[in-house]
């Protein structure tokens, strides 16, 4: 009998707000509503809160507060970084990215192609890794930017972005990384690193949706995409979303505090889940298992099932997970990430992503380990019954 409490295993889609974050942002939604640009004490309070948030985000990333630009989300940060590089470099007629990026980079690059810019989409191997020699070869004299994600949202596979940034620095090409899934999950130290810009999003690490940031190295020229008032030091116009920025700052502080303990605890839960699934369900393959991965993500393919049907059945048991990425749920194409890894159609069709987070308990994992194998078994016997035309006798 399904229990009423949800088992939330979709932390790469979004995360629950940390109560400390809610507490810190609430006054800025109620009493402290001043505009940070106001020339009075009431406005200055809001400005100080935004400055404190900037310091907290910078501390999490190991960079300077002045290198942080607040934005509305990870998508905006990615778009702004790529646009800036192309506008800034008059020879910039070419960009390099990978074929497994999030849609906020891929769709943007596809749009650039329509506007006459050439884009190289790097392939990945079966483990989901990029070939650094191929990446280096892809850089040309007219390349304006290389944009490669830090951690893949579907498989959790980590790209060696620090090494890639070094290659780009030697070739004098800007390097941007979409670190939306990495920030808050793994340690990041941008000081003395060759990364020019980095995107992050609060809702992936227990902050609210609709607020993000773009790190822009102090020596990197930046052309803003959003023009208007001089907010964010002229780099992103628009009255600051103070409450959300404060929340992002607090979420960053909490991530820094919890990082060491959480990495181990979350990895242990993910590994326990993965091991149990692999042992108890035949025809199972963990995607990206041989690559360096985020500690929280499990992308798994089950032979003989359709992920859409599995999601629906698991939902009835109150398990929240995704087919590939959350953005893909409902799409019939199948994951572009798993296809890029050249996995078979069957493996792509039968893939599910489970992602753990700060508020998962061992009990959640116990319940998932109990429910998932039974659900897969049920789906397999149903499709076998359909194939053979025999009555199933399987109650839903």
Q: How far is the CB of 309 from ligand PLP (least distance, A)?
A: 24
Radius of gyration in angstroms for the set of CA atoms belonging to the chain, rounded to a whole number? 22
- Could you please report the per-residue DSSP string of 284-329? EEETTTTS-B-SSEEEEEETT--HHHHHHHHHHTTEE-BSSSGGGT
Place of tokens 């016997």: 381
Is 310:375 a contact under the CB 8 Å cutoff?
yes
Length of the chain counted residue by residue: 396
SS3 311: helix
Q: Least CB distance from residue 191 to ligand PLP, whole Å?
A: 23
**Helices 103-114 & 74-88 angle (0-180, nearest 10):** 30
- Least spacing, CB of residue 373 vs ligand PLP, in Å: 28
Of 147, 153, 217, 322, which lies in the binding site for ligand PLP, with binding defined by CB under 6 A?
Answer: 153
320 is a catalytic site residue: no
Return the structure tokens found at 311: 């999601």
Contacts of 37 (CB under 8 A, 6+ apart): 43, 47, 229, 231, 239
Question: Minimum distance from CB of 14 to ligand PLP (Å)?
Answer: 8
Give the residue with the Cβ less far from ligand PLP, 75 or 155: 75
Catalytic: which of 117, 258, 320, 327?
327
Q: Does 104 bind ligand PLP (CB under 6 A)?
A: yes
Pair 113, 119: CB distance under 8 Å = yes
According to DSSP, the residues that pair with 68 across neighbouring strands are 215
d(CA 66, CA 58): 8
Interface segment toward ligand PLP; rule CB under 6 A; list 70-78, 305-313, 347-355, 363-371: 70-78
String marking each residue 258-297 x if it binds ligand PLP according to CB under 6 A: ----------------------------------------
Nearer to ligand PLP, 143 or 201 (CB): 201
> In terms of CB distance, is 255 or 371 closer to ligand PLP?
255
Regarding 201 and contact with ligand PLP (CB under 6 A), the answer is yes
Smallest distance, ligand PLP to C-beta of residue 13, A: 7
Q: Which residue is nearest to ligand PLP (CB)?
A: 74
**Does residue 299 touch ligand PLP according to CB under 6 A?**
no
Whose Cβ is closer to ligand PLP: residue 74's or residue 295's? 74
Q: Is 73 in the site for ligand PLP (CB under 6 A)?
A: yes
Label the pairing between strands 174-178 and 197-201.
parallel
Give me the least distance between CB of 89 and ligand PLP, in Å please.
Answer: 23
Token pair in block for residue 166: 């070094």
Among 149, 188, 372, 379, binds ligand PLP (CB under 6 A): 149
Contact mark string toward ligand PLP, 181..200, x via CB under 6 A: x-------------------
| Nearest residue (CB) to ligand PLP, 180 versus 356 | 180
Mind spelling out the 3-state secondary structure of 361-392? CHHHHHHHHHHHHHHHHHHHHHHHHHHHCCCC
Residues at the contact surface with ligand PLP, assessed by CB under 6 A: 73-75, 102, 104, 149, 153, 178, 180-181, 201, 212
Residues serving a catalytic function are: 327
């Amino acid at each position: 009998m399904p229990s009423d409490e949800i088992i939330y295993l979709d932390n790469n889609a979004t995360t629950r707000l940390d109560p400390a974050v809610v507490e810190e942002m609430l006054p800025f939604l109620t009493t402290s509503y001043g505009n940070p640009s106001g020339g009075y004490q009431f406005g200055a309070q809001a400005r100080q809160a935004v400055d404190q948030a900037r310091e907290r985000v910078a501390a999490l990333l190991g960079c300077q507060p002045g290198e942080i630009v607040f934005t509305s989300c990870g998508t905006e940060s990615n778009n702004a970084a790529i646009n800036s590089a192309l506008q800034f470099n008059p020879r910039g007629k070419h960009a390099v990215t990978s074929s497994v990026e999030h849609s906020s980079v891929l769709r943007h690059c596809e749009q650039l192609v329509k506007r006459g810019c050439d884009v190289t989409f790097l392939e990945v191997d079966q483990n989901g890794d990029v070939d650094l020699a191929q990446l280096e070869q892809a850089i040309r004299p007219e390349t304006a930017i290389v944009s490669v994600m830090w951690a893949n949202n579907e498989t959790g596979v980590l790209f060696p972005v620090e090494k890639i940034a070094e290659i780009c620095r030697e070739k004098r090409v800007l390097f941007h990384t979409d670190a939306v899934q990495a920030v808050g999950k793994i340690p990041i130290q941008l000081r003395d690193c060759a990364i020019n810009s980095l995107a992050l999003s609060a809702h992936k690490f227990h902050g609210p949706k609709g607020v993000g940031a773009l790190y822009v190295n102090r020596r990197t020229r930046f052309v803003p995409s959003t023009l208007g008032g001089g907010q964010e030091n002229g780099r992103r116009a628009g009255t600051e979303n103070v409450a959300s920025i404060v929340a992002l700052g607090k979420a960053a502080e909490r991530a820094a505090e919890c990082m060491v303990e959480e990495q181990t605890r979350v990895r242990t839960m993910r590994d326990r889940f993965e091991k149990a699934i692999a042992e108890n369900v035949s025809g199972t393959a963990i995607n990206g298992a041989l690559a360096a991965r985020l500690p929280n993500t499990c992308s798994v393919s089950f032979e003989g099932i359709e992920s859409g049907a599995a999601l629906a059945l698991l939902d009835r048991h109150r398990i929240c997970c995704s087919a590939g990425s959350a953005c893909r749920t409902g799409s019939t194409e199948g994951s572009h990430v798993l296809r890029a890894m050249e996995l078979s159609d069957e493996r792509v069709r039968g893939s599910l992503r489970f992602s753990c987070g700060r508020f998962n308990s061992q009990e959640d994992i116990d319940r998932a380990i109990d429910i998932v194998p039974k659900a897969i078994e049920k789906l397999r016997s149903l499709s076998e019954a359909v194939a053979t035309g025999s009555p199933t006798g399987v109650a839903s």
